[in-house]
Amino acid sequence: MPSLSAPVVRWVKQHVQETISAAERLEHTLHPWTSLAVVPLFALANAGVPLSRASLTAAVGSAVTFGVAVGLVVGKLVGISGAAWLAVRLGVGALPEGVSGRQVRAVAAVAGVGFTVSLFIAGLAYPDPALGDQARVGILAGSLLAAAIGALLLYGALPTRIGHESLGEEGGA
């Protein structure tokens, strides 16, 4: 393959950029900020999760807070990974090629970040404002814990080394 000079690379880069609309470039630039900062802060601000000292103190020792948090973290992990395992064992489903059981468990853990639906269900389940506040703190804590556990499991489920074959190149290392 011939080597490319810097002027040729700049020319190609400029022409490739011209094929992408300004709106699409702006969307690509803002996406990390909106998805990782703006939307979560908006959700937290509008979720009604009480973050005062009194409400957090009441929530720490609450069975409601503990139950909701454990339900999100353990319930999703066990339920989703167990259902996937059972489907594969019974032959009614199969994992996609290249997907491991570790990866399924990692994604099942991430599913515990069920913030919006959990808040809706808690609002229906706990008409008492004090219990509702405890449930919302449990949802926040459980979602954060599920995100952390899921991230660790996803990191652990990554291939340790990506060979040339998986990149479509001939001859591995």
Instruction: List, as one string, the DSSP characters of 9-61.
Output: HHHHHHHHHHHS-HHHHHHHHHHHHIIIIIHHHHHHHHHT---SHHHHHHHHT
66-111: pLDDT as tens digits: 999 999 999 999 999 999 999 999 999 999 998 999 999 999 999 9
Answer yes or no: is 86 within a domain: yes
CA 84 – CA 65 distance, rounded (Å): 28
Answer yes or no: is 92 within a domain: yes
Answer yes or no: is 40 within a domain: no
Answer yes or no: is 106 within a domain: yes
**Residue 131 belongs to domain spanning:** 59-159
How many domains would you assign to the chain? 1
Beta carbons within 10 angstroms of residue 81's beta carbon:
19
Q: What is the mean pLDDT of residues 38-57?
A: 80
Q: What is the mean pLDDT of residues 158-163?
A: 63
User: pLDDT at position 87, please?
Assistant: 96
Answer yes or no: is 149 within a domain: yes
Answer yes or no: is 150 within a domain: yes
Answer yes or no: is 37 within a domain: no
Answer yes or no: is 173 within a domain: no
User: pLDDT at position 88, please?
Assistant: 95
Is the confidence at residue 54, as pLDDT, over 90?
no
